[in-house]
Chains A and B, each alone.
Chain A
Amino acid sequence: MPEPVALEQRNMLLGKLGFWAQVAFLVAYIGVLSGAMFFFQFALNELPCPLCITQRMGMMLSSLGAVYVLVQSLRGTLSTSGFMTGLGFSIVGALLGAFMSARQILLHIAPGDPGYGEAVFGLHLYTWALVSFVVVLVFAGVILVFGTEFTPIAPTSPAARTIVWIIIWIFVATVAVNLVVVFVEEGFNLYLPDNPVRYELLYQLGILK
């Protein structure tokens, strides 16, 4: 039987690993949302379709689980049930996102259909989105298999804690920027068109003609 001190050290190590795994999850989705998608939207001028936008929302809902766990952990108020709540947020967000991307994949599955937008490494963005949602489901499932072993333990170093808070606020900023960009794309219309080709608000305000 392991010594109590060794057990405590192991639990601390797994707890820290659990914490940084949640940080990695959040950073990965920030990268996907703000980097790759804005690269495609702004650099390649590929306007996101309505289903693409809902998949971004799915990624954000899924990421809110990690945000919840990290915030509670940094405050020192994370309980086992709180950890389960966070994982639950991630799972239901990823499930909803998976439905959305699967729907879009099936829309373009017929032979000869070129798909929507550019392909990356042979797969379209909505297919990569489905891959990411499945990865989240596997990630949350594996953590749940281990029960409370990976209950996150926040670092004590002020520098590390500050970095994590900055990452959390970058996520919030990513949501806010998406809100603004979609408003410019949709304008004062109620919904996005099926195949958007321009930023409606700029035309509605007379900035572009």
Chain B
Amino acid sequence: MDPLVFALILVAALVIIFVRKRWVIMLSYSVAFLATAALFAHHVTDALNVSF
């Protein structure tokens, strides 16, 4: 999954450079952002073993 998320970030960067429509840029950034957040959520597997 990690290479796929990097690919989405790469696409977002290329869209920012080549595409002039703002909604396309915002959409590609949002997709990359949500994919990164989902990957992070997948790696958060258990509660932290800390107690304050």
Residues of A within 8 A of B (CB): 50-51, 53-54, 57-58, 60-61, 64, 67-68, 71, 77, 82, 85, 89, 92-93, 96, 99-100, 103, 106-107, 109-110, 168, 171-172, 175-176, 178-179, 182-183, 186, 190-192
User: What residues of chain B lie closer than 8 Å to A53, measured between beta carbons?
Assistant: 2
Given the known interface contacts A64-B29, A96-B37, A107-B48, the answer about A182 and B9 at a Cβ–Cβ threshold of 8 Å is: no
User: What residues of chain B lie closer than 8 Å to A51, measured between beta carbons?
Assistant: 40, 43
The residue in chain A whose Cβ has the minimal distance to the Cβ of B20 is: A77
The distance in angstroms between the C-alpha atoms of A31 and B44, with both chains bound, is 28
Residues of B within 8 A of A (CB): 1-3, 5-7, 9-10, 12-14, 16-17, 20, 22, 25-26, 29, 32-33, 36-37, 39-40, 42-44, 48-50
B40 interface neighbour in A93, A100, A190, Cβ under 8 Å = A100
Find out whether the CB atom of A106 lies under 8 angstroms from the CB atom of B48.
yes
Find out whether the CB atom of A96 lies under 8 angstroms from the CB atom of B22.
no
Given the known interface contacts A64-B16, A92-B33, A106-B48, the answer about A176 and B10 at a Cβ–Cβ threshold of 8 Å is: yes
Find out whether the CB atom of A68 lies under 8 angstroms from the CB atom of B16.
yes
Find out whether the CB atom of B6 lies under 8 angstroms from the CB atom of A175.
yes
Given the known interface contacts A60-B9, A61-B9, A82-B22, the answer about A110 and B42 at a Cβ–Cβ threshold of 8 Å is: no
